[in-house]
Amino acid sequence: MRMELLAFTPDVELLIATAMMTTSSRERPQDLYLSLRSREERVRKLIKRLVLKHGSVLEHNRFVFLADADESEVLALLLASRFFEVTRLGERTWLLSCNARTIVELLTGEAELPPGAREALSEALRKAAPTLWEKVMGRGG
């Protein structure tokens, strides 16, 4: 399976940090977002403190991939996580999307993924959320 990252939500780590802060703050999410936007080091510190099992804060984003795969590889990916959205574009061409929670769960879990999928998901997370990627890789993901 070959997966190419086409697009992802901008400011993934900022959104995750904002979601984290909304759980313990009385401020509105948009105010927290604007406050954190100019505080990159604060965002990195929050991401480093994130407990990965608290996945709901990882859901406020989207990663979109173009995949070259056969049906069995796409089925294996769907069996590994039901949180992928899949659209067939051609015989071996697929549009796949998921959020960071799905990627983190697949990288830290024991799921059997089609060859190439783990590497593509890891690279997508590294590109979009490098601090989160470092945390995930530190846990053996």
| Fold classification of 2-138 (topology level) | Gyrase A; domain 2 (3.30.1360)
Dihedral angle, C-alpha 38, 138, 10, 78, nearest 10 °: -160
Tell me the residue type at 94. W
Query: What's the pTM?
Result: 0.91
Tell me the residue type at 79. L
If you average pLDDT over every residue of the chain, what do you get?
Answer: 94
Domain assignments of the chain as residue spans, ordered by start: 2-138
Nearest to 62 by CA among 135, 6, 131: 6
Cα angle, residue 131 at apex, residues 22 and 141 outer, rounded to 5°: 105
Residue 140 has pLDDT above 50, yes or no: no
The contacts of residue 137 (CB under 8 Å, 6+ apart) are 107, 122
Residue 141 has pLDDT above 50, yes or no: no
Q: Which pLDDT score, from 0 to 100, does residue 55 have?
A: 85
pLDDT tens figures, 25-60: 899 999 999 999 999 999 999 999 998 887 899 999
**Percent share of the chain, pLDDT over 90:** 91
